[in-house]
Amino acid sequence: MATTRSALTEGDIRQLLKGATADERAAAAQKLCLTIERTPLTDEEQALAAEIVRIMAADAAELVRRALAQTLRASPLLPRDVALKLARDVESVCLPVLAHSPAFTDEDLADIVRLGGPVRQLAIARRPLLSRTVTDALARHGTEKPVAAACANDKADFSEAALQRIIERFEESERVLQAMAYRQVLPIAVTERLVSLVSEEVRELLIARHQISPEAAMALAFGAAERATVDLVEQAGRTADVKGFVAHLNTSRKLTASLLLRALAHGHMTFFEWGVAELAGVPHHRTWLMIHDAGPLGLKAIYERAGLPARLFQAFRAGVDTYHSMEFDGGARDRERFQQKMLQRFLTSAQPAARDDVDYLLERMDEVTRSLREDTLAESA
């Protein structure tokens, strides 16, 4: 090992093997490890270096073993048997190696996840790359903090089954679910399941970042009830194709007059336009003109073309008129004031909606009015 010997004196090697104190042996170990790491070695020299490393790993002093682990933590020259030995050592020794060493096989890491406890699991979860073998082990055996760290690691390759298992195990853990939601890529089935579990803020991020099917959007609030669907229209429209969304609703016979009425009551004019266009079989741009810019008969014509019931026309007319009459001041409560006025027009129209719709509109108006009142009190205070 000529190159190594030229960089180390015989005294350095004696200091490593027989140093009087742990500090002296640790200093020699660090110097030798740096030389091994930085100096090109022949095969024979690598074999000799490996034997020297094994001597360090067997040193009784934690300080020496720590110097070895820190210096060779990411080195390809660390033998696998030494890496496994260090992985069973105390935390100050094992963690640098577990977090970085390429010496481990995926099966090694999976076994350590299964048997090693939360601290070792966390070090592995933060590695620069994680295979499915390792993430599957974390999904099965990892505790909350390591699993959250792995989910937050976009270099961790998860199978859909592993992600589903994590949701089953940690469906009440905001830390884990949020980390998963922030991943760059998620299978659609996982996204759809997450949407019903996370907070409103994280849900909005999920919908903005990942594709959500219409079925998932409708299922957010305990099934496919129309009232629940309306509450999702605005969010789903941020990433999903509104045209495709209403087409799906129509195919599944959920694009009803009642649904459109409730959507309009929420101020979802874009959804209303696309819904009418879908039912009428008329392109959206022509539908928009008939609703907004074709005089008083335009809305009635496209409404009838869509096959919507005559008894509800005045309610829709009131909603569209309210939309046109609104002036937005750019304030934080524009949407709430808009909804309040629209709901008032609905409830005072000449031909009010059916009893179920009226009850719903009253509930919604009460919510909006209460919200506005609370904001006004807060501002005055």
Confidence of residue 106 (pLDDT cuts 50, 70, 90): very high
Do 282 and 308 have their domain in common? yes
Q: Are 8 and 82 in the same domain?
A: yes
60 and 112 part of one domain:
no
Q: What share of the chain is helix, strand, coil (3-state, %, to 5)?
A: 70, 0, 30
Residue 344 has pLDDT above 80, yes or no: no
pLDDT at residue 379, rounded to an integer: 60
What pLDDT does 343 receive? 64
Domain extent, residue 124, equals 105-210
Whether residue 359 sits in one domain with residue 260 = yes
Q: Is residue 216 part of a domain?
A: no
Asked whether residue 221 is assigned to any structural domain, the reply reads no
Same domain, 49 and 135: no
pLDDT at 227: 45
- 12, 138: one domain: no
Candidate ranges 68-72, 230-234, 332-336, 352-356; pick with highest mean pLDDT = 68-72
267-275 mean pLDDT: 86
User: 4-18, 41-55, 203-217, 365-379: lowest mean pLDDT where?
Assistant: 4-18
Beta bridge partners of 130: 156
What is the tens place of the pLDDT at every residue in 58-80? Answer: 888 898 899 889 888 998 889 99
Shared-domain flag, residues 269 and 350 = yes
More confident position, 249 or 80: 80
Instruction: Give the long-range contacts of residues 68-71, CB within 8 A, separation 24 or more.
Output: 68/29, 68/33, 68/93, 69/93, 69/94, 69/96, 69/97, 70/30, 70/96, 71/29, 71/30, 71/33, 71/34, 71/37
Residue 129 included in any domain: yes
Q: How confident is the model at residue 195 (pLDDT cuts 50, 70, 90)?
A: confident
Domain co-membership, 257 together with 156: no
Q: What is the mean pLDDT of the chain?
A: 78
> Is residue 236 assigned to a domain?
no
Q: Region 224-250: what's the mean pLDDT?
A: 60
**316 or 351: which leads in pLDDT:** 316
314 or 1: whose pLDDT is higher?
Answer: 314
State percent of the chain over pLDDT 70: 68
What pLDDT does residue 15 have? 57
Where residue 192 falls among pLDDT bands split at 50, 70, 90? confident
Same domain as 44, residue 91:
yes
Q: Other C-beta atoms within 10 Å of 196: how many?
A: 13
Assigned domain for 219 exists = no
How far is C-alpha 206 from the geometric centre of its chain's CA atoms?
Answer: 6
Q: Report d(CA 381, CA 375) in Å as an integer.
A: 10
Looking at the structure of the chain, the number of domains it has is 3
Cα 360 to Cα 159: distance, rounded to the nearest angstrom: 43
At 85, the pLDDT band (50, 70, 90 cuts) reads: very high
Cα dihedral 64→68→70→71 (10° resolution) = 130
Domain harbouring 28, CATH code? 1.25.40
Q: How far is CA 67 from the centre of its chain?
A: 38
Q: What pLDDT is recorded for position 22?
A: 79
Query: Is position 306 within any domain?
Result: yes
Q: Band of the pLDDT at 1, cuts 50, 70, 90?
A: very low
Q: Are residues 109 and 93 in the same domain?
A: no
Of 191, 210, 229, the domain-final residue: 210
Percent of the chain at pLDDT above 90? 34
In sequence order, the 6+-apart residues with CB closer than 8 A to the CB of 253 are none
Structural domain contains residue 234: no
* Residue at token pair 């919507």: 308
Q: Please check whether residue 230 lies inside any domain of the structure.
A: no
> For residue 201, what pLDDT band results from cuts at 50, 70 and 90?
low
Does one domain contain both 87 and 1? yes
Model confidence band, residue 239 (pLDDT cutoffs 50, 70, 90) = very low
Residues 277 and 146 in one domain: no
Local confidence band at 90 (pLDDT 50, 70, 90 cut-offs): very high
